Amino acid sequence: MMVLLLALAVGSLFASGTYLIMRRGQVKLILGLALLSHGVNLLLFGSSRLTEGRPPIFLDKKAYAETLAWALPADPLPQALILTAIVISFGITAFVIVLVNRRHTVTATDVVHGEFVPLLREGDPFDFSEHAEGYQHDWLAYEIDEVYDSDDLLTGLPQRQFSEEDESAAMEEDNYQWP
Amino acid sequence: MALSANLLAVPVAAPLLTAALILLLAQWGGRRLIRQQIVLTTLALCLNLGVALLLFLATAGQGQRFVLQMGAWTAPFGITVYCDGLSATLLLLTALVSIAVYPFAVATIDYHRERMGFHPLYLFLLMGVNGAFLAGDLFNLYVFFEVLLMASFVLLTVGAQPAQTNSGIRYVVLNLLASTVFLVAAGVAYGTLGTLNMAQIAERLSVASPAVQTLLAGLLLVGFGSKAAIFPLFFWLPASYHTPPPAVTALFGGLLTKVGVYTLFRSFTLFFPDLLVEWRPTLLTIAGATMLVGALGALAQPSIRRLLSFHIISHVGFMLMGLAVALSGNRLAIGFGLGAAVLYLCHHMIVKTALIMAGGAVELHMGSDRLASIGGLVSRQPYLAFFFFLAAISLAGVPPFSGFVSKLSLLQITLDGRHWLVSGVSVFASLLTMINMMRLWRESFWGDYKRPSRVPSRILQSSLRQRLMLTPIAALVLLSLGLGVFGEPAFRLSMRVALQALDRKAYIEAVSPAESFSQPLPIRAAPHTSVGPFPEEADLLDRGRLIVDHAR
């Protein structure tokens, strides 16, 4: 019975995690990743069989032999594995939250785009002629170096220079010019 | 020469300790001590290269295997670190690539990224990659995967340009999904086989039920294949590799997908040798599709780095093809396919890194890497043009270079196995590679000189920086030339590496896991244990020997 419950829990965690990841919003993405990692942790927990009321470690050999006669002792290893996995997923979730936050600041949008959306928006991606100048990612950092070196930006983040109308356009996320 | 197995700790410990020291230095000295950080990192990279070279000579050269049981706990209870020819080859190549990219990175990375910890991150990435090559159990492999992923996340997104954060999200999510699948595989392995030690998994899988084998192989194929960017799982790669600075792209292109390829090699030859034969049509289909999609997708890319990074996918297809025919018993011996794949791996890591660095140098000079808006660089940068050209034709597979030898041997074994379709596809993909390379060369170096950015590139005004960028490219191209000219010894060495990797029995004996009570084995009475250990492999090896005798 407990096994069935555990399997159901793992399955529903995986399902809802996958569903949330496939949504467009970034906050849902974070939640989805967290749910997925919980699902995996539960699966690891179940990999050692659900034992009840049996100690994992014996201090005297006699008790060990007696226990072995009717059942195997509990297995402590998966809990160590889960602990490691929890630590790793904690770190990664923290990183993803910071990344999403930074992305929100930099690009002023919450939506995750596909790779070729900006290309398609600006014309034919297979047009290699000289006129197709629209798409260029000149992020080149050396030009930004001067901004960083100037020391007056405590945040370390270059402020994007928008003119008045550009800014209002950028708010409507569809007209946003991707770098 | 008797090396101590304790040497296996160095490729992980040296980068870790140096990175910790550098972080301390940065905390203490702040922005003034960047130069010291560079010196320390270089020292760690040199140490890593030296140790990798020693290990390579001892394992691939003399056929030794090193096993280090951490803390002297016997095998299934402790942490096993294992190194044979395959691991040592990849360790050596990783050391070479990282030491070659480093001068380029020092010359081109901007001050902001250095202050944000570029140098320790570089070492952390190296540590994760090395650890993944050395891991002897599934869970440690997972941990080292996460270490290298974490370092690569930060390297990819540090600087926080809009394009970087955009690609960062896609890269992070897709790679995390792959890691999740891999962790599920580890959980399934522990639940069904009761162990995570790779030698013991191999031992128990050969008597496990086919359902368990298929499930585990499928999960590992999806998890590792996604890291290696095989056909339906490659989308994270072209979405992200073009956004970080060129040095980071060169490092990623040289190292990251190759970890996935290595784990595919290792897991399939060690765990599922019979599935490798059984699944050959599937693997060959995936390999063919990967080659074709990589080459065709690269053809459609508008800029240098997008093209080069999309092209990595095509090469992964070639390596997968070598793995699929690894046990085919043709070409006089078992293992020819894997040997050819290992040689291709060496060629790819060396040449691809050189090419991405050269493309990055073009981009830095021009201020943009969009092919339509640049051109005519050959008059300003003749040396760069020269080495770019050599690397490009080496990648395309023109004779005096390493691309020719490795592609030829892969094609030979595939044709011997009468896999006509996939060999035709691989020839076609090579042709597309040639077209791609010629396009790159023509668009960026020939024609009238035009430079879209009006800002003069500060980076190229210093001749020291230019030399720091050109020297590693030249060195890697010369290495590729050497690998091509001395093709036969190189191929013999990689054959030896492949045979050593295919020898499962010796792997299990070297690690020699003790039987444990830690977990009830669900498959107590295996139906066909009486046949003897690993009948399928003994059979295959015998057949290989017969073919060799027959040929003599």
pLDDT single digits (tens) B52-85: 999 999 998 888 889 998 887 887 888 899 999 9
pLDDT at A72: 67
Position B347 in a domain? yes
Is A86 a residue whose pLDDT tops 90? Answer: yes
**B379 with B263, same domain?**
no
Q: Which residues of B touch A29 (CB under 8 A)?
A: 169, 173
Query: What is the token pair recorded at B472?
Result: 């590693």
Is B515 a residue whose pLDDT tops 80? Answer: no
Please identify which residue in the block is written with the tokens 């060799």: B548
Helices (H), B486-525: 487-502, 504-511
Mean of the per-residue pLDDT values of chain B? 86
- What's the average model confidence in pLDDT over B468-478? 93
CATH domain A1-112 topology: Helix Hairpins (1.10.287)
Task: Please state the ipTM of this predicted complex.
Answer: 0.83
Domains of chain A, residue spans: 1-112, 119-179
Smallest Cα–Cα separation from B64: which of B2, B106, B22, B107? B2
Position B31 in a domain? yes
B464 confidence band (pLDDT: 50, 70, 90): confident
pLDDT at B352: 94
Is A152 a residue whose pLDDT tops 60? Answer: no
Distances (CA, A) of A177 to A107, A110, A123, A158: 10, 15, 13, 17
Name the maximum alpha-carbon separation found in chain B. Answer: 76
Whether A26 and B169 lie within 8 Å, measured CB to CB: yes
Residues near B127 by beta carbon (within 8 Å), at least 6 away in sequence: B11, B12, B15, B16, B19, B147, B148, B151
- What's the average model confidence in pLDDT over A15-33? 89
Position B253 in a domain? yes
Give yes or no for a contact between B499 and B334, defined as CB atoms under 8 angstroms apart.
Answer: yes
A15-24, B26-35, B297-306, B444-453: least confident range: B26-35
Position B531 in a domain? no
Residue of A nearest to B373 (CA): A130
- What's the average model confidence in pLDDT over B314-321? 94
Position B542 in a domain? no
What is the distance between the alpha carbons of residues B49 and B408, in angstroms, rounded to a whole number?
A: 29
Position B83 in a domain? yes
B28 confidence band (pLDDT: 50, 70, 90): confident
Size of interface A-B (CB pairs under 8 A): 162
Q: Which residues pair with B547 in a beta bridge?
A: none
A47-51, B117-121, B268-272, B459-463: least confident range: B459-463
B30 confidence band (pLDDT: 50, 70, 90): low
End position of a domain, from candidates B270, B293, B310: B270
**B247 with B348, same domain?**
no
pLDDT at B536: 47
A148-162, B211-225, B233-247, B401-415: least confident range: A148-162
**B441 with B476, same domain?**
yes
**B312 with B242, same domain?**
no
**B202 with B308, same domain?**
no
Torsion of CA B395, B401, B405, B410, to 10 degrees: 0
* More confident position, B262 or B550: B262
Least CB–CB distance from B238: residue in A46, A72, A115: A115
Structural domain tally of chain B? 2
**B256 with B290, same domain?**
no
**B211 with B170, same domain?**
yes
pLDDT at A65: 73
Is A79 a residue whose pLDDT tops 60? Answer: yes
What pTM, to 2 d.p., does this model score? Answer: 0.84
* More confident position, B452 or A80: A80
**B365 with B465, same domain?**
yes
Name the maximum alpha-carbon separation found in chain A. Answer: 85
**B125 with B161, same domain?**
yes
Position B533 in a domain? no
* Structural domain harbouring B413: 279-502
Please identify which residue in the block is written with the tokens 């040449």: B351
Q: Which residues of A touch B239 (CB under 8 A)?
A: 115
Whether B459 and A138 lie within 8 Å, measured CB to CB: no
Residues near B251 by beta carbon (within 8 Å), at least 6 away in sequence: B97, B98, B101, B105, B122, B125, B155, B353
Q: Which residues pair with B197 in a beta bridge?
A: B137
**B79 with B141, same domain?**
yes
Highest mean pLDDT among B41-45, B157-161, B326-330: B41-45
pLDDT at A59: 76
**B343 with B488, same domain?**
yes
Is B528 a residue whose pLDDT tops 70? Answer: no
Classify residue B71 as left (phi > 0), alpha (psi -120 to 50) or beta.
left
In 3-state terms, what secondary structure has residue B127? Answer: helix
Q: Provide the shortest C-alpha distance from residue B441 to chain A (in Å).
A: 15
Is B261 a residue whose pLDDT tops 60? Answer: yes
Percent over 90 (pLDDT), chain A: 28
**B368 with B233, same domain?**
no
